[in-house]
Amino acid sequence: MSNKLHCIKGIVGIGVLVLPTVIYAKSPDSIRIGLESVYKDAYTIQIKSESPLAVGYFDEERWIQEGYLESEEINVTLANQIYYSYDEVYSDLEEAYAVLDAYDSEAVVAYVEPGEYKIYTTDDFEAQTKVHTNNNRIQIADSYGEILLISENNNSPLGFRGSYNTYDFPATGVGNSRIYRGVIEVVKGQYKGLTAVNQVDMEDYLYGVVPCEMSASWHGEALKAQAVAARSMATFQYNRFLSRGYNLVDTTTSQVYRGITAEDSRSNAAVDATSGEIATYNGKVAETVYSASSGGYTADSQYVWGNAVPYLKAKPDPYESAANHVPWTRTITTKELEKCVANQGQNIGTVKGVRIEGYTTSGRVKALTILGTNGEYTVKNEATRTFFSGSNEGS
């Protein structure tokens, strides 16, 4: 077994990633990351650059640049105004902007779909057609509030790409403190508002992941192993959030990703050294889950997610530091337990006690029954941990 595999086995929290080989296999060339830690269901999304922002869209994975906005900073919001449209259709952004001055002062260019632009106005005196209501319609305004562009399309959203003097590649600012490689898009939020999305090359994405999941000061071989694990996880979970308009999110729900802001030359080198390399099991991409701490013994996947995975079995973790093995206790009152049960939509009356139904191989509680005056409520597997988040002290 190679050093890389030993390294993976040591850093991945499952501690059981004993794979037949680490191979070069095809991972997606690019990936769409929902920047939910920065802008999720937001009223306004701020996008920045040190030069006028380029605007365009993706034809699958190919970036089609349509032109530039006359602004280095834009604010993107949902458009609630009633618009009227002139009938003329323009094939690209530059063509539409070229005729804009011929229309009234309220006129604005509207992106309808790739290769189709129109002129909208809020003045119905001369425009021919009232535009149908579109809950996905967004407006792009400069920092002074002047509307530069309207977008009707959430399926092929407009993208914005900037540049910074610090970098010799395209870079775009999002919010007050983050800068990203690739292109920034904006899609309708999951529940309300808008969410920012970063479409970026897979390897560039990993530059912003690896140092967030492992200190860049760690050994180079460990960083390489983390890069392989992160690339494999991104490939394994690639379609997880398609219903939201992107592949993964930038939080621990997927993998922590902070863009250029987090990059380090040492972790970048590890990504480069393992370029395109993923872990497989029986010819398929492996689910290379990892964690910061296992407590000295990893958990079996069937007792966490409910499905048995042959290479995610409970094993002692000899790489865990002794400091993380120290037992700890937390006192939770019966009133807090009643709150936890109520949070699950259950009513078992006054809590009288708890009963442990069994333990897993790793020593974790497999099932826990809460005993009440009006009945019982049992939680199993991973829920035995998350159940207590409803208590005042639980997490």
Residue 45's closest CA among 210, 176, 241, 155? 176
Query: Can you tell me the mean pLDDT for 123-149?
Result: 89
Q: Would you kindly state where each structural domain of the chain is located, as residue ranges?
A: 32-197, 334-390
3-state secondary structure of 303: helix
Query: Can you tell me the mean pLDDT for 150-165?
Result: 94
Say if CB 266 and CB 223 are below 8 A apart.
yes
Ranges 22-36, 185-199, 330-344: which has the least confidence: 22-36
Query: For the segment 352-382, what is each residue's pLDDT rounded down to a tens digit?
Result: 989 998 888 887 888 899 999 998 899 988 8
Q: H/E element holding 111?
A: strand 108-113
Task: Quote the CA–CA distance of 38 and 45 in Å, as a whole number.
Answer: 9
Share of the chain above pLDDT 90, in %: 61
Task: Quote the CA–CA distance of 182 and 36 in Å, as a whole number.
Answer: 17
Query: For the segment 96-133, what is each residue's pLDDT rounded down to a tens digit?
Result: 999 999 988 889 999 999 999 999 998 877 777 899 88
CA distances from 59 to 92, 115, 161, 211 (A): 14, 11, 16, 31
Say if CB 113 and CB 152 are below 8 A apart.
yes
Specify the pLDDT at position 325: 67
Query: What residue has token string 């005042």?
Result: 392
Query: Can you tell me the mean pLDDT for 20-46?
Result: 84
Residue 314's closest CA among 296, 300, 303, 294? 300
Q: Kindly list the strands in the beta sheet with 375-380, ordered across the sheet, starting from the edge strand earlier in the chain.
A: 351-359, 365-372, 375-380
Query: Can you tell me the mean pLDDT for 28-45?
Result: 96
CA distances from 57 to 73, 123, 159, 189, 394 (A): 18, 29, 5, 19, 45
Query: For the segment 77-104, what is each residue's pLDDT rounded down to a tens digit?
Result: 999 889 999 989 999 999 999 999 998 8
CB-based contacts of 97, cutoff 8 Å, min separation 6: 67, 109
Specify the pLDDT at position 363: 79
Q: Which of 16-25, 191-200, 327-336 has the highest average model confidence (pLDDT)? A: 191-200
CB-based contacts of 256, cutoff 8 Å, min separation 6: 209, 212, 213, 250
Share of the chain above pLDDT 70, in %: 92
Q: Kindly list the strands in the beta sheet with 194-201, ordered across the sheet, starting from the edge strand earlier in the chain.
A: 62-68, 54-59, 159-161, 183-188, 194-201, 30-34, 248-249
Task: Quote the CA–CA distance of 107 and 84 in Å, as a whole number.
Answer: 9
Task: Quote the CA–CA distance of 187 and 170 in Å, as a whole number.
Answer: 21
Name residue 59's amino acid: D
Task: Quote the CA–CA distance of 73 and 50 in Å, as a whole number.
Answer: 8
Task: Quote the CA–CA distance of 171 and 164 in Å, as a whole number.
Answer: 6
For the chain, the first-to-last Cα distance in angstroms comes to 39
Question: pLDDT confidence of 393, banded at 50, 70, 90?
Answer: low
**Burial of residue 267 (number of CB atoms within 10 Å: 0-12, 13-18, 19+):** buried
For strands 108-113 and 147-151, give the pairing. parallel
Task: Quote the CA–CA distance of 76 and 348 in Å, as a whole number.
Answer: 48
Q: H/E element holding 78?
A: strand 73-78
Q: DSSP secondary-structure letter at 93?
A: H
Residue 160's closest CA among 67, 72, 55, 58? 55
Task: Quote the CA–CA distance of 31 and 24 in Å, as a whole number.
Answer: 18
Question: pLDDT confidence of 270, banded at 50, 70, 90?
Answer: very high
**Rg (the chain; Cα; Å):** 26
